[in-house]
Amino acid sequence: MFNLITSNTSNVKNDLLSGFTVALALVPEAVAFAFVAGLEPMVGLYAAFMMGLLTAVFGGRPGMISGATGATAVVMVSLVAVHGVQYLFAAVALAGVLQITAGILKLGKFIRLVPHPVMLGFVNGLAIVIFLAQLGQFMVKDESGALVAMQGEMLYTMGALIAITMLIMHFLPKFTSAVPSGLVAILVVTLAVIGLDLEARTVIDYVRDMLPAEQAATATLKGELPSFAIPMVPFNLETLRIIFPYALIIAAIGLIESLLTLTLIDEITNTRGHGNRECVGQGIGNTVNGFFGGMGGCAMIGQSMININSGGRGRLSGITAALVLLGFILFGAKIIEIIPLAALVGVMFMVVLGTFEWSSFRIIKKIPRSDAFIIILVSGVTVAYDLAIAVIVGVIVSALIFAWKHAKHIQADTYIDEQGQKVYDLRGPVFFGSISYFKELFDIENDPEHVVIEFKRSRVSDHSGIEALDGLALKYKAAGKKLHLRHLSPECRQLLKNAGNMCEVNVMEDPDYHVATDALG
């Protein structure tokens, strides 16, 4: 059913090695997002393990990596600060239930409504966000305990190691693709730092810099298996009132980011994931997180790109990443603690370069100005606020631009038929955006007694269109004339029927055909 392992030996090897690479890259991200939400590092690591494992097994996009993310972490800050971590676990579990419900109701298909310029803006904006997130790795604690920008030899060493990491990842695939270049780069840089005894910040240095001084000395990434526990909150309506808004936002942001990442990977790999199944997989992951002490999350575009670029295509890659991460937590904390941050930053910088749609600079002057505006708008809002707001804004603006353009497309050819009736052969939809142009088409004062609107090439799309027809009919009636509608599609006739007495026009007999159908199915 889940096709966890393919029969292709090469695919198995690629999935295992890419999963190992992703596991290394997950550590600082999971820890960072836990700190963003005001949580202990282990809460983020548990989330990365559980989200990664469960979405790899149950989700709809093989090769996509999920874990704790900044998009959901920023929503959690105020809930944790005001009500505590137990309320967060309850909210995450409820968010998971909402996501499963969305999958069962097949709401994942609506991701198809996201226009391509919004997708381009989403990708470019996320690339910038990933880049900016890495700048935090260049901060260190000074003697007073405040975080300051890295300087001097440490900064030069960091820059040199990042450059070496990126060069290895760029040139190694030209010689061999037997092993992921990211994994080789991390191992080479780690061994170089240890062998040459370089002054380079490691993963554990980053963790300690984020903790209070009294906790930093004993900080470690070693942990135990997450254990089941029902969130310790009162089970009443007051609790639901507190957690439901957060759960709804977490669920919505998680699904938007996951489904857009799914669509992006579909395009890169020329395959097709299953949006509704991904909704269910994300929901299962978040629900389990709520009962096992994780902060939940969603798809991670950075780690997903590392996985895809390293050759990970199957579910085994995500499963491997999750299990290797758990192995680090349980048995190999000392190993991941000594990995230089520069190596991981270099890997993420390569992700930024690979994620950003550089072609958008080339096409920006060749596409409609409205599309160019949407790309820039979505990118900017993604960086300034968050992904969910950016996508919603992008879709709304795209819809308004579409409505404005089509509002001017309504036209009518006029002629007098053999019965002496004036016929307005309408072209274009009658909807809220076009009604002002629609009304200007008619010459009520000079028209004959009977007027026919021909709808073979048109349709009434909404309530505003009904109101426009009703108003037009009343004006003809006041002038002692009668308005007839001909060749309405069954959908339009049903719309008028539902309106009842709101629209008093004479609908003439129609053939059995459809002007338009719902293409989404």
For 211-300, where are the alpha helices, taking DSSP H only?
Answer: 213-216, 237-269, 275-291
Q: Is 460 helix (H, G, I), strand (E, B) or coil?
A: strand
Superfamily of domain covering 408-507: STAS domain (3.30.750.24)
> Taking a C-beta distance cutoff of 8 angstroms, is the pair 394, 371 a contact?
no
Q: Which residues make beta-bridge pairs with 506? A: 484
Q: What b/e string do you get for 330-359 counting C-beta neighbours within 10 Å, with b at 16 or more?
A: eebbeebbebbbbbbbbbbbbbbeebbbee
Q: What is the dihedral of CA 463, 465, 466, 470, to 10 degrees?
A: 140
CA-wise closest residue to 315 among 23, 102, 3: 3
pLDDT of residue 260: 87
Return d(Cα 292, Cα 288) in angstroms, integer.
6
For residue 305, the one-letter residue type is M
What are 404's two structure tokens? 């404005």
**Is 0.85 topped by the overall pTM?**
no
Compute and round to an integer the Cα radius of gyration of the chain. Answer: 29
482/419 Cα distance (integer angstroms): 14
Q: For each of the chain's 521 residues, which pLDDT tens digit applies?
A: 344 444 454 588 889 999 999 998 888 888 878 887 888 889 999 999 999 999 999 999 999 999 998 878 878 988 998 999 999 999 999 999 999 999 999 988 777 777 888 888 888 887 888 888 888 888 888 777 788 888 888 899 999 999 999 999 899 888 887 788 888 888 999 999 999 988 888 888 888 887 777 777 777 888 889 999 999 999 999 999 999 999 998 998 899 889 989 988 998 888 888 999 999 999 999 999 999 999 999 998 888 988 998 888 899 999 999 999 999 999 988 888 888 989 888 888 888 888 788 888 888 888 888 888 999 999 998 888 877 788 888 888 988 888 777 767 788 899 998 888 999 999 888 888 888 888 889 999 999 999 998 888 888 878 788 888 888 888 988 999 888 888 877 766 666 665 554 444 556 554 443 333 333 33
Residues sharing a CB contact under 8 Å with residue 353, sequence separation 6 or more, in sequence order: none
**H helical segments located in 331-433:** 333-337, 341-355, 359-363, 369-384, 387-407
Q: What is the pLDDT of residue 294?
A: 94
pLDDT at position 500: 52
- pLDDT given at position 7: 44
Q: Which long-range contacts (CB under 8 A, 24 or more apart) does 436-443 make?
A: 436/407, 437/407, 437/408, 437/410, 438/410, 438/468, 439/468, 439/471, 439/472, 441/410, 441/411, 441/412, 442/472
Alpha-carbon distance 278 to 292, whole Å?
A: 21
DSSP codes joined into one string, 149-171: E--HHHHHHHHHHHHHHHHHHHH
For the chain, the structural domain boundaries read 9-142+152-361, 408-507
Identity of residue 227: S
Tokens of 425: 């052969």
Give the length of the chain.
521
Cα-based angle 498, 502, 506 (whole degrees, multiple of 5):
85
pLDDT of residue 315: 93
Q: Given 3-state DSSP classes, what are the helix, strand and coil percentages for the chain, each rounded to the nearest 5?
A: 65, 10, 30
Please name the residue ranges forming H helices in 176-233: 181-196, 203-210, 213-216
Rounded Cα distance between 484 and 486, Å, is 7
| 459 close to 421: Cβ distance less than 8 angstroms | no
